[in-house]
Amino acid sequence: MRATTEALKRLDIAKRVAQAYAKLDGVDSLAVGGSTARGNADRFSDVEIWMTYSSLPDEEARKQILNKLDESGHPVLMKDLEGGAKLAETFRVSGVQVSILPGTNDDLLSVGIDIEKHLGEPSEKGLADFHDCVVLYDPKGLYETVKRRRENYPVDLGIKLIKRKLYEVVKICAVDIPRALRNGNWLWILDSRSTAQEALLRVVFALNRDYFPRVKDAEWLILSMTHVPKGFLKGISEYAREPDIRKARKMLINLTKDLISLVEQIWPQAIDGDTVTWLDRLSEDVIPVLD
């Protein structure tokens, strides 16, 4: 995806700010996140820079930097809050609000260590943000350490995620949608449809060892992935637009079968025999089988 003009402007601002903060004693890494890093910033977007430190930089030294950078006349200095948190340092540069979000080196190095507990919440914010960030200063290689850890996640965690999400889709086909149809609960139907769609996308991501992506960016993420069923994006799009819920349910079953065929080629141990059996029965039977 090509970065917007506003994103490039903000990235330039982030680099200028990082160059100044990198000179402070104790600062060990600086990275920009959010829409600036993703390249989709607009004229209303601010700039968020994550700063990690081995010791919090001297306040007077930071004030000197702000005197040179800030154009608002009333910058906010970071300070300690209750519970050990710290207030971000905020100021304006070239008409754009900039926030320095402070944290220790250990805060950064802890990202993703206990990944298994997050399998039920694949959009966990810290990991999603880390996935998008642009590193501006990192002489100790802290971000590289976390990146290597992400790339080397054990396969069995991906298998657990795939099993969980495939079961979720089967349950929606077999129980949730039929029950909602009987009760006329259209809000529930819409919710179940979107949940199933996200579950299938997460299986594709897991096959490509990307366990914590931003689902809203699914289309362009999938285009860069190696393991994707043929016609999957088109099928997902048609499923999402199909107004007839019964037809949509059949489309969902077929999408799941196609995805299972691919999973069997890559991680056959992720396929539960019961899942395939339920899908076969659902293909022929509109009556819920798990209810």
C-alpha distance across the termini of the chain, in Å: 44
Neighbours of 121 (CB within 10 A): 10
Residue 289 included in any domain: no
Among 102, 128, 151, give the residue marking a domain's end: 151
Note the pLDDT of residue 277.
Answer: 82
Among 151, 182, 201, give the residue marking a domain's end: 151
**Same structural domain for residues 122 and 164?**
no
**Same structural domain for residues 164 and 70?**
no
**Same structural domain for residues 273 and 136?**
no
H or E element, residue 14: helix 5-21
Note the pLDDT of residue 178.
Answer: 83
Kindly report the CATH number assigned to the domain that includes residue 101: 3.30.460.10
Neighbours of 41 (CB within 10 A): 23
Per-position pLDDT tens, the chain of length 291: 578 999 999 999 999 999 999 999 999 999 998 889 989 899 999 999 999 999 988 999 999 999 999 998 889 888 766 666 677 899 999 999 999 999 888 888 876 555 545 444 433 444 555 667 899 999 999 988 887 766 666 677 788 888 889 999 988 888 888 888 888 777 777 788 889 998 999 899 888 877 767 677 777 778 888 899 999 999 999 998 888 888 888 899 999 999 999 999 988 888 887 888 888 877 765 545 454
3-class secondary structure, 206: helix
Task: Determine phi and psi for 97, rounding to 5 degrees.
Answer: -75, 135
Among 151, 177, 209, give the residue marking a domain's end: 151
Note the pLDDT of residue 239.
Answer: 92
Note the pLDDT of residue 186.
Answer: 76
CA angle 48, 52, 58 (to 5 degrees): 100
Residue 290 included in any domain: no
**Same structural domain for residues 142 and 165?**
no
10 touches 96 (CB < 8 A)? yes
**Same structural domain for residues 199 and 160?**
yes
> Domains in the chain: how many in total?
2
Between CA 33 and CA 128 the distance in angstroms is: 10
Neighbours of 223 (CB within 10 A): 10
Residue 140 included in any domain: yes
Beta-strand relationship, 134-137 and 96-104 = unpaired
Between CA 24 and CA 27 the distance in angstroms is: 6
**Same structural domain for residues 136 and 45?**
yes
Look up the pTM and report it: 0.57
**Same structural domain for residues 180 and 248?**
yes
What is the extent of the structural domain holding 89? 5-151
249 touches 173 (CB < 8 A)? yes
Kindly report the CATH number assigned to the domain that includes residue 162: 1.20.120
**Same structural domain for residues 251 and 118?**
no
**Same structural domain for residues 141 and 49?**
yes
**Same structural domain for residues 167 and 280?**
yes
